[in-house]
Amino acid sequence: MTHWFPLGFEVLKRKNELVERYCADIGRDPGTIERTMATPVIVASSADDARSMIEKMAPERRPHVQGGTPEQAAEALRPYIDAGFTGFTFNNNVYSTPESIGAVGELLRLVA
């Protein structure tokens, strides 16, 4: 299993390519390695709420995270899913209300 932080899609794509190359070097099927990451999206009931949540993040992480509604977040996750990422972790202290947890649930329903 791999687990990375959101560092921008191109950086993660390169890391993914390295895993595949290393697997080829040792004769391992790269499909046997689950690729997970801290989610590159902040999901909220509105784009304004998502922006407010992102503003609370460390400044160096903000450029690598997109915010929006569950529908917008699902669209933003699609390239990562298409690139082979199979799991995302969501920051528990960001999602601290039933409504925010519900928005994450809606996102998961949309990408499932």
Does this model's pTM top 0.75? My answer is yes
User: Using an 8 Å Cβ cutoff, are 60 and 87 in contact?
Assistant: no
Question: What are the residue boundaries of the structural domains of the chain, listed by start?
Answer: 2-111
pLDDT in the model for residue 64 = 92
- pLDDT of res. 24: 97
Alpha helices in 1-112, H assignment, sequence order: 9-26, 47-55, 70-82, 98-111
Give 42: exposed, middle or buried? Use CB within 10 Å, 0-12, 13-18, 19+: buried
pLDDT of 93: 79
- For the segment 70-112, what is each residue's pLDDT rounded down to a tens digit? 999 999 999 999 988 999 998 877 888 898 899 999 999 999 8
